[in-house]
Amino acid sequence: MGSFVYSQEQHISTHTGTIHWFSRLKGIGQIRPDTGGYDIMANISDFVETQPAGSLEHKMVSYKLAKSEFGGQARQINLVRSV
């Protein structure tokens, strides 16, 4: 109940965006895609880095977009590091 069924997900492609907001207390937030459109849900458990340090808001990320029975969900989220 309330969890994603991975066997029914379809990973579409890799995207980039900016974390619009993120609540560490709840472990969820939203990514605003660089291409526009609806914000994508993000869960702390979907970050490749186990516990990203510092504030996540306004950080650039890359992610796999998955479709599930609940709509769009970011998977395999990586912080994009400045060089």
75 assigned to some structural domain? yes
Query: Is 3 part of any domain?
Result: no
Q: Residue 37: which of 71, 75, 70, 3 has the closest Cα?
A: 71
The structural domain count of the chain equals 1
**What string of pLDDT tens digits covers the 83 residues of the chain?**
444 444 455 556 899 999 999 998 999 999 999 999 889 999 999 999 877 778 899 999 999 999 867 678 999 999 997 54
CATH for 70? 2.40.50.140
CA 33 to mean position of chain CA atoms: 10
Q: Report pTM.
A: 0.78
Whether residue 2 is contained in a domain is answered as: no
Does 5 map to a domain?
no
